[in-house]
């Protein structure tokens, strides 16, 4: 039976640690990007928008614009649209309060996981990874629930004003979902991938160092 020398095993282990650190760095960057995306999802009034219609009838043309969790913006003859809502005070539209609260909770969980990145200098890496994983998993669940509740609340005054009287739950009438809602659905997938990767990285931390790389008290010796 062939036995590898401690030096060769230590070399393989060092390369493995470097690879794990590179993956961890990529995970941290993606987590920060996801946190920024969550802010965009929350504040952008582009969850739903009117379809492109060729109006040829008499009377005023139907309104065109977009709608989000906090504002409904109607296009006018001026360069800037006319927005109704209270984004500055973070007061959601009455019909979408539940979705807005869930997105806010999701946003808080993601930024909490970003804040936990500072704990890598003070705490066990495996523990930090697992904390971040549960935070991201919670964020993804809340965001997914918000994506389900949002179309369920379409039968409201704001949607009827923008999209016509044929609006009902899960039926947007003359409107269609816009990029912010699609970005929210992609955010659910992103949260799931990041949480899974964090769990994997956390579970692999204890296996990064071999037994001979520990001192007598069982503490890990840093390999550079």
Is the pLDDT at 180 greater than 70? The verdict is yes
- The DSSP result for 32-80, as a single string, is HHHHHHHHHHHH-S-SEEE------SSSSPPP-EEE-SSEEEE--SSSS
Distance separating alpha carbons of residues 190 and 198, to the nearest angstrom: 12
The model's confidence at residue 142, banded by pLDDT at 50, 70 and 90, is very high
Q: The domain containing residue 103 runs over which residues?
A: 40-49+97-216
Query: Cβ distance 110 to 34 under 8 Å?
Result: yes
In a domain, 180, yes or no: yes
In a domain, 70, yes or no: no
Query: Cβ distance 162 to 74 under 8 Å?
Result: yes
Could you count the other beta carbons within 10 Å of the beta carbon of residue 223? 15
Average pLDDT, the chain: 83
In a domain, 3, yes or no: no
Structural domains in the chain (count): 1
The model's confidence at residue 15, banded by pLDDT at 50, 70 and 90, is low
| Segment (H or E) for 203 | helix 179-205
In a domain, 89, yes or no: no
Q: Which residues contact 2 (CB under 8 A, 6 or more apart)?
A: none
Q: How many residues does the chain have?
A: 224
**Of 143 and 123, the one with more pLDDT:** 143
| Segment (H or E) for 191 | helix 179-205
In a domain, 111, yes or no: yes
The pLDDT value recorded for residue 69 is 94
Lowest mean pLDDT among 23-27, 142-146, 202-206: 202-206
Highest mean pLDDT (candidates 14-18, 58-62, 85-89, 151-155): 151-155
pLDDT in tens, 85-100: 877 777 899 999 999 9
In a domain, 30, yes or no: no
Lowest mean pLDDT among 9-13, 119-123, 167-171: 9-13
The model's confidence at residue 134, banded by pLDDT at 50, 70 and 90, is very high
In a domain, 170, yes or no: yes
Highest mean pLDDT (candidates 4-8, 9-13, 85-89, 113-117): 113-117
Q: What is the mean pLDDT of residues 148-172?
A: 92
In a domain, 206, yes or no: yes
Q: Which of the 8 DSSP states describes residue 85?
A: E
**Of 36 and 23, the one with more pLDDT:** 36
Is the pLDDT at 128 greater than 60? The verdict is yes
Distance separating alpha carbons of residues 134 and 194, to the nearest angstrom: 10
pTM of the predicted model, to two decimals? 0.81
The pLDDT value recorded for residue 54 is 53
Q: What is the mean pLDDT of residues 191-216?
A: 73
């Amino acid at each position: 039976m062939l036995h590898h020398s401690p030096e060769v095993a230590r070399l393989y282990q060092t390369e493995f640690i470097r690879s794990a650190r590179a993956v961890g760095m990529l995970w941290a960057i993606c987590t920060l990007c996801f946190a920024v995306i969550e802010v965009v999802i929350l504040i952008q009034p582009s969850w739903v928008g009117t379809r492109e219609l060729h109006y040829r009838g008499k009377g005023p043309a139907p309104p065109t614009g977009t709608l989000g969790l906090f504002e409904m913006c109607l296009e006018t003859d001026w360069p800037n649209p006319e927005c109704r809502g209270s984004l500055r005070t973070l007061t959601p539209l009455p019909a979408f309060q539940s979705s807005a609260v869930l997105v806010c909770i999701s946003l808080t969980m993601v930024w909490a996981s970003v804040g936990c990145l500072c704990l890598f200098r003070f705490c066990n890496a495996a523990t930090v990874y697992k904390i971040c994983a549960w935070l991201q998993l919670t964020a993804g669940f809340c965001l997914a629930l918000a994506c389900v509740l949002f179309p369920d609340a379409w039968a409201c005054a704001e949607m009827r004003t923008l999209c016509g009287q044929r609006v009902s739950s899960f039926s947007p009438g003359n409107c269609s979902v816009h990029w912010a809602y699609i970005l929210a659905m992609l955010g659910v997938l992103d949260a799931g991938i990041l949480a899974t990767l964090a769990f994997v990285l956390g579970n692999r931390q204890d296996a990064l160092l071999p037994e001979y790389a520990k001192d007598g008290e069982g503490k890990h010796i840093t390999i550079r």
